[in-house]
Structures are given as structure tokens and as C-alpha cells.
Homo-oligomer: A and B are copies of this chain.
């Protein structure tokens, strides 16, 4: 969360990559310290698909509040990670530091980068509850959102389905055909069935319905170790290369 280190999700905030140039300027002054690369940080594996689903809504309607409860796979804890005796036949409603990361990183990634000022958080209130469940891969997230304007459910689905972000426009090698897929079945996305969508790079959304408290609720699912980690890093690198930043 350092001042000029971007949390980059190419489908969401490719403009944040500009912060790298700023790092470089400073690095130029600090090569005497023997190090002159740039840092791009991989965002949290739960925050990544969340901002992917929110970005088109933010652009089209504005987003004010986001309540999210996650059901996260064991692979999110690395290896050896969660002991089997802790998670078999269990659900654990605590992942150290995770809720804070989801809340902070979501605001940062949906915020703006202003040269000379740095990162400015999006004015969105985020509340997260994070759970570990006995799945191998795939973070499932139950989301409620308050938008900036009242729209129909179909308007929201169209915003997701029409969303063609920069990696897809640029045709980056690791970009899936669709950054977002909305499934209309009543019981999708499911962790096991949808985590490999777009070779693990697509975020799958479903179950959009009205929420009597915040207006809208839905479910999203993404592969935490591909989209949320290794694959995301590669896509970041591809973006930086295409922008001439590395």
C-alpha cells in the first residue's frame, strides 16, 4: 500500500501503471543505492475479482457502498497453508488481515492516480467478511452494492456483458476473451464449475437480484491462484510491456 506502488488489475486500473514512471524518476536518483527496477504489486486475490465486477458499475452508474462476504479456497493460504485437520468438515470465519486488505485495496484500485498527488481512494464504503472453506481453488464472493443511480437489473447485466477493458482491447496474450461473464442460471457461479472460465482468468458473475438494504446483490467467482495471483502477474507484465513501461 506504499505511496507510489500501484495495485494493478489491467482490466480495472491500467492507468495506475503510470505510477511506475514516477517510481523510475525517484529510482534514477537512488541508483546509488544499487537498485533501479519498478514495483507493481499484485492485489489481494479476493479484491481482484471484486473490483473487476465493480468497475463497469462504477463507470456506468457510480458505486457508493459494497458489502462482501467471501468463501475462499485453501490455496489462497499458500503452501503448506491450512492444515487439513483445521478445514475438513469446517468453515473458518477468519483470515488474518484479509478483510482489511479487501476494504482498503478495493477503494485504492477503484480510485485514481493523479500525477503529482499519487493515489486517491474512490469514495466507496466497503465492508468485508472473509471465510475459509474446504475448496481447492476459487474464491466465491456474495456482494451487495449501493449504486449512484437507480437502474434495472438488466442495465447492470448489460454493463457487465458489454465491458471490454484494455487487456481485451489490446489483445494481450494472457487476456481471456471475456474479462467478465454473467451466467443467468439460478445456481451459478459455483466454485468448482466456474473457476476455470477463461483458463482461470475470467471473473464469473451471477444471481443478480435486488437487495432490500443496498439495492442490488450478486455472486462472483474467480480462480484465486490464476486470476488472483500468477496469471494476474503475467497480465500485469504484458500490460507494462505494451505501454512501454518496462
Contact = CB atoms under 8 A, between A and B. Distances in A.
Contact of A142 (B69, B103, B133, B193): B69
Interface in A211-244: 211-214, 217, 219
Interface of chain A: mostly helix, strand, loop or mixed: mixed
A171 interface: no
Given A83-B80, A212-B125, A89 B91 contact: no
Given A71-B91, A136-B88, A126 B212 contact: yes
Nearest to A64: B213
Q: How many copies does the complex hold?
A: 4
Interface of A: 65, 67, 69, 71, 74-75, 79-94, 103, 125-127, 129, 131, 133-136, 138, 140, 142, 144, 186-187, 189-193, 206-207, 211-214, 217, 219
Given A82-B85, A90-B191, A127-B144, 17 more contacts: A69-B142, A79-B83, A79-B85, A83-B83, A84-B86, A88-B134, A90-B135, A90-B192, A91-B140, A91-B190, A91-B191, A103-B212, A127-B212, A127-B214, A129-B142, A129-B219, A131-B140
